[in-house]
Amino acid sequence: MNISVLKFDAVIVGAGGAGLRSAIQLSEAGLKTAVLSKVFPTRSHTVAAQGGVAASLGNSEEDNWRWHMYDTVKGSDWLGDQDAIEYMCKKAVEVVVDLEHYGMPFDRTDDGKIYQRPFGGHMSNFGEKPVRRSCAAADRTGHAMLHAMYQRNVKANTQFFVEWMALDLIRDSEGAVVGISALEMETGNIVIFHARAVIFATGGSGRIFASSTNAFINTGDGLGMAARAGIPLEDMEFWQFHPTGVAGAGVLITEGVRGEGGILRNADKERFMERYAPNAKDLASRDVVSRAMTTEIKEGRGCGPSKDYVLLDITHLDPATIMKRLPGIREISIQFAGVDPIKEPIPVVPTCHYQMGGIPTNFAGRVAVPDGRGGDRIVPGFYAAGECACASVHGANRLGTNSLLDLLVFGKSAGDSAVEDLKDGEAHRTLPADAQDVARSRIAALDARKGGTSVYEARQAISRTMQDHAGVFRFEDLLKQGVARILEVEKMAHNLEIQDKSKVWNTARVEALETENLIEVAKATMISAEARKESRGAHVRDDAPDTPEFPNGRNDKDWLKHTLWFRDGNRIEYKPVCLTPLTVEPVELKTRSY
């Protein structure tokens, strides 16, 4: 089998929000760009985002990017890099206005401006009271945004390779990224994309958990490819459990429901968040709310026959508001919980939602790895943005609506950086001589394997292990066992056997290749989580409790640092957190409460 080579200036892997935003920059700059996606662009998981995108437009009340920055640093439990956070919060207004100009159908205020609603952890005046910062198109913001950006790319004549799966990153002997190998699903052909810039915008990996709001396609392909190519993964112990997934189904119910006045109640009908976050209450940050809910359930105040969920109540809201601002949520509740939220509360549980960590980048979207002398060096030709990247703006816990902002700001900055780096018009670096053989042999080995594990079995093993050993609350002994287990499961994931050998639209093969990516993410998560012996943000351990010396279990003396996991030998390194913003005073360390 001959493997053809296609040459582009730039290749973007992933056509969700971050990929499409990068593509606009590259296409409008006139660069020859290929965008690869496992699914038609508007089917990417950005489409499922609901509640909004943060920007301090101040359309309904006074707001300021400095307040947004403060909230984001605090939300991150001080693990976010303050240079990147300043950059993101400052750029927010510009990128949201861009979307409006692309035609995104935002809801409107009476005076015709973009409608904004309150969201968890977003406050005015440095943490004082909730502020309307989330720019929304009903509760379908991600859908409206993704379609608007796809449409803008149609206008810009971006070249898409739809239903192609990237297989591996190709680096040359100097470590520069020179392309990727990819599989065309319809034909089973493998092709090498030779490029001067490769931008990863492959999204999250929530499918490592058994209970997840994430789409089937969220299998951490970019992270798997990066890890196999020797790039470390940053802060992978930090996973966000969204407070309100539909109990049983896992489907997301936006925090915007609480932004519009929704209240969480336990079996006694009590508004329990008043006890955990007296100021922000139901609009405290997601890690705080998820832990409160889990505690309520654990202490026997859960609802239902098995007392295993709590209720999200909006029955006190005007039905007209629900129909206007939360129509999608009503649809989802009826479809997946069997309740009409106008009349009955929705059963919800904390559900795996977002990966704060990822491929380490700076705020310009360039991938940066340790240089071996205590600093960072840029990987030439390699960029990453969106959920697959770690800039790091979310640190130990992401604020709601900052994910859509992240993919806009860093999708754009990664695209701009690539345009900047390609300006010189230099020739492509040479592909390694074995690039074609490597891609071919991986598929051939999978096709030929006999007596291996089924994809279904391996995936069950991964997601059960992660769910049981690295959930909302973490325990020293469970983490230790989890590391041993996941290394056992890894053997299964590297020994997959598929029955389907067809060249045409072989979904079994695609799922097997995805499983090889999932296992890398799972290992990175479990090993990084076991290693971090403190509680911070979404990572809370029983052996790092709340004490006077370490409030909330957070230990800044030893653990105010980013984790870097290397696939090779499961090695862990740490790097400092950037506490110096670009132009303003740092947000000083303090104990986090809402």
Partner 1 sequence: MTTRTMQFRIYRYDPDKDERPRMQDISVEVDEQDRKLLDALTKLKAKDETIAYRRSCREGVCGSDAMNINGKNGLACLTDLEGLEQPVLLKPLPGLPVIRDLIVDMTQFFKQYHSIKPYLINNDPPPERERLQSPEEREELNGLYECILCACCSTACPSFWWNPDKFVGPAGLLAAYRFLADTRDQATGERLDNLEDPYRLFRCHSIMNCVDVCPKGLNPTLAIGKIKEMMVKRYV
Q: Which of residues 549-578 bind partner 1 (CB under 8 A)?
A: none
To the nearest whole angstrom, how small is the minimum distance from the Cβ of residue 376 to partner 1?
A: 35
**If DSSP states are collapsed to H, E and C, what string results for 509-530?**
HHHHHHHHHHHHHHHHHHHHHH
Site membership for partner 1, residue 44 (CB under 8 A):
yes
Residues 490-509 close enough to bind partner 1 by CB under 8 A: 498-500, 502-508
**Residue 125 within binding range of partner 1, rule CB under 8 A:** no
CB of 448 to partner 1, least distance (A): 17
Q: Are 535 and 553 in contact (CB under 8 A)?
A: yes
Q: Of 21, 133, 286, 485, which residue is the catalytic one?
A: 286
Category of 550 on φ-ψ map: left (φ > 0), alpha (ψ -120 to 50) or beta: beta
Work out the end-to-end distance of the chain between its first and last CA atoms, rounded to an integer number of angstroms.
60
> What does the alpha-carbon distance between residue 51 and residue 118 come to, in Å, rounded to a whole number?
10
CB of 112 to partner 1, least distance (A): 3
Q: Pick one of 456, 546, 547, 589: the residue that binds partner 1 (CB under 8 A).
A: 456
By CB under 8 A, tell whether 474 contacts partner 1.
Answer: no
> Which tokens go with 82?
């303050």
Binding pattern to partner 1, positions 310-349, x when CB under 8 A? ------------------x--xx--xx-------------
> Closer CB to partner 1, residue 110 or residue 426?
110
Strands 561-566 and 571-576: antiparallel
Per DSSP, the residues of 208-264 read GSSSBSS-TT-S-HHHHHHHHTT--EE-TT-EEEEEEEETTT--B--THHHHTT-EE
Q: Which is nearer to partner 1, 362 or 515 (CB)?
A: 515
CB 515 within 8 A of CB 493: yes
Q: Which of 46, 41, 47 is nearest to 153 (CA)?
A: 41
Interface with partner 1 includes 467 (CB under 8 A)? no
* Cα atoms in the Cβ-side hemisphere of radius 13 Å centred on 283: 26
Q: How many CB atoms lie within 10 A of CB 494?
A: 15
Whichever of 310 and 498 has its CB closer to partner 1, that residue is: 498
Strand order in the sheet with 129-135: 53-54, 129-135, 116-124
CB of 1 to partner 1, least distance (A): 14
Render 40-79 in DSSP notation, one character per residue: -GGGSGGGG--S-EE----SSS---HHHHHHHHHHHTTT-
Q: Which is nearer to partner 1, 226 or 337 (CB)?
A: 337
Among 5, 30, 62, 109, binds partner 1 (CB under 8 A): 109
Q: How far is the CB of 240 from partner 1 (least distance, A)?
A: 18
Q: How far is the CB of 502 from partner 1 (least distance, A)?
A: 4
Q: Is 286 a catalytic residue?
A: yes
Kindly state whether residue 113 participates in binding partner 1, applying the rule CB under 8 A: yes
> Per the structure block, which two tokens stand in for 361?
């980048």
**Stretch binding partner 1 (CB under 8 A), from 141-149, 287-295, 401-409, 554-562:** 141-149
Which of 64, 151, 189, 467 is close enough to bind partner 1 by CB under 8 A?
151
- The single residue among 7, 43, 449, 464 that binds partner 1, judged by CB under 8 A, is 43
Q: Which residue has the tokens 């809370």?
A: 540
Q: Which of 68, 122, 140, 567 forms a contact with partner 1 (CB under 8 A)?
A: 140
Closest CA to 532 of 518, 547, 544: 544
- Please report how close the Cβ of residue 216 comes to partner 1 at its closest, in angstroms: 5
296-322 per-residue burial string, b: 16 or more CB within 10 A, e: under 16: bbeeebbbeeebebbbbbbbebeeeeb
* Residue 265 touching partner 1 (CB under 8 A): no
Helices within 455-506 (DSSP H only): 455-469, 476-493
Query: Nearest Cα to 41, choosing from 217, 219, 250, 222?
Result: 217
Q: Is 184 near partner 1 (CB under 8 A)?
A: no
Indicate whether 462 belongs to the interface with partner 1 (CB under 8 A).
no
Of 13, 20, 48, 225, the one binding partner 1 by CB under 8 A: 48
Residue (of 238, 249, 237) closest to 212 by Cα position: 249
Tokens coding 581: 């913003």
Residue (98 or 270) nearer to partner 1, CB? 98
Number of residues that bind partner 1 (CB under 8 A): 61
Kindly state the smallest distance separating residue 560's Cβ from partner 1, in Å. 37
Among 40, 62, 304, 590, binds partner 1 (CB under 8 A): 40
Question: Shortest approach of partner 1 to residue 187 CB, angstroms?
Answer: 10
Among 21, 45, 91, 398, binds partner 1 (CB under 8 A): 45
The rounded distance, in Å, linking the Cα atoms of 85 and 392 is 8
Residue closer to partner 1 by CB (options 222, 537) is 222
Task: Catalogue the active-site residues.
Answer: 286
Give the residues lining the site for partner 1 (CB under 8 A): 39-40, 42-45, 47-48, 57, 97, 100-103, 105-114, 137, 140, 143-144, 147-148, 151-152, 154-155, 186, 215-217, 248-249, 251-252, 328, 331-332, 335-336, 454-456, 498-500, 502-508, 511
